[in-house]
Amino acid sequence: MAGYALRESLRRKVLLVVLLLTAAFLVLYGVGTAQVYGEVESFALDEGEEVVDARAIIGSTLVGLSMFATLFLGTVLAVFLTLGAIRGDAERGLLQPLVVRPLGRATFLLGRFAGAAAVCALYVILVFAAAVVITGSIGDWWPDRLVTPGLALAAGVTILTGLSLLGSVFLSATANGIAVFMLFGAGLTAGLLGQVGEALNSPRLESVSQAAAWALPFEALYQSGLSALTADIGGVTGVVVELGPFGGAQDFGPLLWPWAVVYLGLIAAAAIVGFRRRDL
Amino acid sequence: MGQALVAHAVEKRYGAATALDGVDIAVGEGELVGLLGPNGAGKSTLVKIACGLVRPSGGRVEICGAPAGSLEARRAVGYLAELFRFPGWYDADELLALHQRLTGSGGDKSERDELLSLVGLTEARGRRIERMSKGMQQRLGIAQALVGSPRLLMLDEPTSALDPVGRRAVRELLEELRRRGVAVLLNSHLLSEVELVCDRVVILLGGRVVREGRPDDLAKPGGVDVETGSGVRHFPDAGREQAPGIVAELVEGGESVYRVTVARSTLEDVYIEAVGAPPT
């Protein structure tokens, strides 16, 4: 079933559209990066003695922004590959010929998830890697950690894929698409609240933001990934670096990854129970 | 003769609405049973329960001795839904190969060749489904239902998109399947078709079985019509046995007899009498 889902993902035009948009994004990102570094280099020469590492600030900010764009594009891909996977496909008559086969609904669901998640995770890893290479080759700045941010993005879109698949069991395709994007927006808003709370020195806002990020771990993963970009930067540069948008760089600690796995397990369990009870 | 399908006291309720209200039917191995009834009678619901797509509210359904919906039951079933679609990017051969894998049929290219030949799609085996006519897709749907040599085939309106030639082909296919010992539950609105091929018919109305039996047994004598020189004379209470006496009497009375017809009610008459309206 994963093979079927993988082929479906690859042969649907949505992937082509996303790839074209991604190519446009990466070209614009490259042009923007070249422009910014050009301006910063002339600025740094005028200053003479460097107090902060402008190259690191610009590089990490740009890669941080690209992480947000990558997460957003990955979310679009995840949603459009799964938004109608169960109820939508059942209403169109696509699901019944497959579900009557002797493979079990749980297997079917997990297969659909595996196919879509594989495509989305691979996609965000490649786009993130491309953004890092573009930034590094133009600005000569490389993130302190490469694997953690990439994996955090991949895990984030995997969770969003799971949420979208779970929603597809209960909601029509349109309603599910709206619901998942609203959840994504809720995560971003929570991150933004945290930044506002930090700026206003409001522990309550920061607590709300943290709780929301744990409840929607794709946001916590995104923030942890951002944090890993500049894990080793210290001094004045470390103070100046403020990555974002929609959630500052923040390490959520070692429990985040096990929680993400448990969260996915809970999503899978809810989806399987819901799917088993659904009349088709 | 063993039973391919046994439904006992099957009920299905959707909230306050009752779709099936204690249905009992059985389909023997190699038997071809027609399921008739107006829209909303519960025909498709019954078929979906037998396939494991819908959970009954009460009663039990067994497929070849296994509970409907179990993996063992699904291995024995081939199903064509009334409203079905296949992924447009597959070609006919790929679709059948997918269902071979899902069924675990172990069938190879020779099985696909045979099935495509059976439904007259050999020449179109490499054509994408999105480029096929509705009739071709329906024939492909029948081939798909036959993957893995099911012991019970459930067809929901299999000829709705077919022209008369296609319908005849399906009729011949059903007769061939009966010869091979495959049990068939045929849900159709085309009474003439059902009358031609089915061993037995079951008429549902309001979720209940209101008539059941062999088409010949359900039909009632409709009298004798005699075409004479002075017009057609109808003898409503006469049957086949009385026909020679009627002719002798007429000839003796000086009438010229040109044709004698022993009339019987058709399945359509039986249906209308049972449900109170022509098929919709």
A100 touches chain B (CB under 8 A): yes
Instruction: List the one residue out of A173, A184, A179, A20 whose CA is nearest residue A82.
Output: A173
∠ Cα B229 B232 B233 (to 5°): 110
Q: Which residues lie closer than 8 Å to B39 by C-beta, 6 or more apart? A: B280
Q: Which residues lie closer than 8 Å to B133 by C-beta, 6 or more apart? A: none
Contact B172, B32 (CB under 8 A): no
A277 touches chain B (CB under 8 A): yes
Structure confidence by residue, pLDDT tens digits, B20-78: 999 999 999 889 999 998 888 899 999 999 999 999 999 999 999 999 999 999 999 99
pLDDT at A47: 53
Distance (Å) of CA B126 to CA A3, A11, B91, B119: 20, 16, 5, 15
A12–B89 CB contact, under 8 Å: yes
A92: chain B residues, CB-CB within 8 Å:
85
Phi first, then psi, for residue B68 (nearest 5°) are -55, 135
pLDDT at A242: 64
B144: chain A residues, CB-CB within 8 Å:
97
**What is the pTM for the complete model shown?**
0.81
pLDDT at A235: 62
Percent of chain A with pLDDT over 70: 85
B71–A100 CB contact, under 8 Å: no
Instruction: Give the number of A-B residue pairs with CB atoms closer than 8 Å.
Output: 62
How far is the alpha carbon of B142 from chain A, nearest alpha carbon, in Å?
Answer: 11
Q: Is the ipTM of this complex over 0.85?
A: no
Of the candidates B86, B89, B104, the beta carbon closest to that of A102 is on: B104
Structure confidence by residue, pLDDT tens digits, A201-258: 888 888 888 899 999 999 999 999 988 888 777 666 665 566 666 557 788 888 999 9
Structure confidence by residue, pLDDT tens digits, A120-171: 999 999 999 999 999 999 988 888 888 999 999 999 999 999 999 999 999 9
Structure confidence by residue, pLDDT tens digits, B106-158: 778 899 999 999 888 999 898 999 999 888 898 899 999 999 889 999 998 88
In B34-158, where does DSSP find H-type helix? Answer: 43-51, 71-75, 92-103, 109-118, 134-145
A97–B54 CB contact, under 8 Å: no
B48: chain A residues, CB-CB within 8 Å:
96, 279-280
A48 touches chain B (CB under 8 A): no
A97–B144 CB contact, under 8 Å: yes
How far is the alpha carbon of A94 from chain B, nearest alpha carbon, in Å?
Answer: 5
More confident position, A223 or A49: A223
A104–B87 CB contact, under 8 Å: no
A96–B81 CB contact, under 8 Å: yes
B71 touches chain A (CB under 8 A): yes
Bridging pattern class, strands B32-36 and B77-80: unpaired
Q: A246: left (phi > 0), else alpha (psi -120 to 50), else beta?
A: left
How far is the alpha carbon of A141 from chain B, nearest alpha carbon, in Å?
Answer: 44
A96–B71 CB contact, under 8 Å: no
How far is the alpha carbon of A158 from chain B, nearest alpha carbon, in Å?
Answer: 24
pLDDT at B193: 81
A258 touches chain B (CB under 8 A): no
pLDDT at A104: 86
A137 touches chain B (CB under 8 A): no
A94: chain B residues, CB-CB within 8 Å:
84-87
A97–B75 CB contact, under 8 Å: no
B84: closest chain A residue by CA: A93
Range of the domain at A194: 2-277
Structure confidence by residue, pLDDT tens digits, B230-266: 888 888 888 778 889 999 999 998 888 999 888 777 7
Residue with tokens 């399987």: A272
Query: In total, how many domains does chain A have?
Result: 1
B77–A4 CB contact, under 8 Å: no
Of the candidates A8, A12, A100, the beta carbon closest to that of B77 is on: A100
B102–A103 CB contact, under 8 Å: yes
The span from the CA of B103 to the CA of B100, in Å, is 5
The span from the CA of A255 to the CA of B103, in Å, is 42
A43 touches chain B (CB under 8 A): no
